[in-house]
Structure 1
Amino acid sequence: MNFDLIHKALANPVRRQILQWLKTPAEYFGEQDYPLDLGVCCGLIDKRTGLSQSTVSAHLATLQRADLVLIKRVGQWIFYRRNEETIQAFLAHLSDDL
């Protein structure tokens, strides 16, 4: 686990907001046609942020590099979901070390 990458990813409010939305996807992305256990389609995340597709893609890539989100490809679609294992390990690290 790269703690520096995680800190960098969490330093941006848009990325923190995306992680918050992905925590309870049914609340924020209930209109998705595919089951939410796959994750949330990147197009819906783009739409919810109101930012350009390229900007949101850069944010999602940063979250992925930090291992905070997992992706699943289904045909032409890419779905994102939180990596709870990494998030919990990071929180434990903060609790133990700070």
Structure 2
Amino acid sequence: MAQDDTSAHLVEVFKALANPVRLQVLQWLRDPEAHFPVETGIADPHEVGVCVSHIQAKLGLAQSTVSAYMASLERAGLVRSTRVGKWTHYQRDEERISRLVDVLGRSL
């Protein structure tokens, strides 16, 4: 990745993480069973992630706001989405987060 591309990507990541709610969601997704009702889920949270409706319920925010927050985290490469029927599930992208930590260690 070129230096300009790396810098642009880091700015996108920092923008996504600058919002405390998005940061909180990313932390919750690290251990989904501890933070979301797995028994009511329609899919394995480790396989496909947590349903956006569970994230919305925990946050108590409008669906459109939560969707925008999750889209920001996805654009930054911190989460990935999977559709299960009509529902969108989100999980952390651990590989990309690991690469990000490596890039930060080399560039800051």
TM norm structure 1: 0.92
Alignment match, 1:4: 11
Letter in 2 for 1:33: I
Q: Equivalent pairs: percent with the same residue?
A: 46
Q: Which residue number corresponds to residue 39 of structure 1?
A: 49
SS at match of 1:33: coil
Give the equivalent residue in structure 2 for 1:78.
88
Greater Cα radius of gyration, structure 1 or 2:
2
Task: Give CA deviations for 1:42-85 in whole Å, capped at 9, x if unaligned.
Answer: 00000011111111111001011111111111111111000111
Counterpart position of 2:22: 15
Measured in 2, the distance between the counterparts of 1:35 and 1:86 equals: 21
* CA RMSD, Structure 1 to Structure 2 (Å): 1.2
SS of the equivalent of 1:38 reads coil
Stretches of 4+ aligned residues off by more than 4 angstroms: none
SS of structure 2 residue aligned to 1:34? coil
Structure with higher RCO (Cα < 8 A, 6+ apart): 1
Displacement, 1:20? 0.4
TM-score normalized with structure 2 length = 0.84
How many pairs were matched up?
98
Deviation of 1:33 after TM superposition, in Å, equals 3.4
SS at match of 2:80: strand
- In structure 2, runs of 5+ residues without a counterpart are 1-5
